[in-house]
Structure 1
Amino acid sequence: MRILVVDDDINILELVTIHLSHEGYEVIKAANGLEALERIDEQFPDLAVVDVMMPKMDGYELTRRLREIGDIPVLLLTAKGELEDKEKGFLAGSDDYVVKPFEPKELLFRINAILRRYDKAVDVIIQVGPLRINRQSYEVSIGKRVLLLPLKEFELLSVLASKPNQVFERNFLIERVWGFDYQGDEQTLNVHIKRLRDKLEGIKIATVRGVGYKLEVLES
């Protein structure tokens, strides 16, 4: 699991990094919002821990940008506990908040709770028949053949493969892969499904008319 930590206070940044690394998370560090947006172009996180008060771009604006980019859960770090600040954070799209100073155990507890809510607290490796997905290295293989998938195709396949033979509704897939506030055309999902079908051998993505899609393993 990969977590983006954004804070202009180097002491907080290092403290959070140490505790997350100790729990087995891979940490992406950034000192401000602009740097954070550059970093996620290189490594896409499963969750972001974002400080509210930062120069150049505050945590609220960064949260909005992260939600526009994809379904990235956000936990805000704030020095204030007033209701107005909490409301502003939730309106920006954050999932939870921790008030400074905080106990590292509380931060870890809230992170785990968010990941469970998003159903991201799953095994790093997903194995479905000959299909093997490594959620940490973003590597997909079918037998000995390794596939290089664009990020959205990888995320879509990971969701479908997480529960083989279960039907996922179209709206659910769009929200999980493109974000709950996605305003684009549903045709985008159709295009990504078609691309995956063209690349997969021995794996079937079945259409359930009027509902959505499910992943099946073809018998050899």
Structure 2
Amino acid sequence: MAVGDGVTPGVNGSKTPPRERGEEVYIAALRLFKQKGYHATSMQDIAAAVGLYKGSLYHYIGSKEDLLVQVFERAMGGVLGDVERIVADGSLGPSAQLRLVVEAHVQAVAQNLDALTVYLHEFRALAGESFARVRAQRERYRELVSAVVERGVRLGEFATPDVGIAALGLLGMCNWVAQWYRPGGRLSAGEIGGYFADLVLDGLKRDQSLEPNTSSPTVSPSARTSAVE
């Protein structure tokens, strides 16, 4: 039985360490945000889900918004790091980079279904500095994907009249996996990622009989901002 000071007795009288309790609070909040929505979830709901008094939650979090920021950062932080490493690897051509980006994104969605679902539905729930920080993360990710597509156009591997729209289309396709993917389904996340990569690369493939495009590809003005703006 949980006690009001936020410490839960365990087996043989042991107590739940604060870090573990903080993770329990995060997991409960994530589940409630997905089920009820961020605005409909109260601090009392979260406290009840982990067997704490409402006031005890503040030993582990500063606010409900802090929990939502955690969800967003966990949802995209890992894959952003992966994509930064892929794009920084100059030994890879644009096609190889884009394949790895798509596969990494789909894997991240599959491994963080609840967090990605909340991320996509509750992005506008943040405000001020928190919103700016998460938006900057989104923009950084989009810029990395756009850079790979633009490089592919310059080197003659890809053909697209609008790099920004191509990047947003790719991201939208990968993000939508969160709406229908279920573990244990007909295809694994790896298989879906490979299939999506084939679709993207086939769609961008340039006729190799043509000369490489040495002009700067177009980046749509609307694509310079977040897709949800």
TM-score by length of 1: 0.25
Tell me which of the two structures has the higher relative contact order, counting C-alpha pairs closer than 8 angstroms and 6 or more residues apart: 2
TM-score by length of 2: 0.25
Larger Rg over CA atoms: 2
Where is the strand percentage greater, Structure 1 or Structure 2?
1
Where is the helix percentage greater, Structure 1 or Structure 2?
2
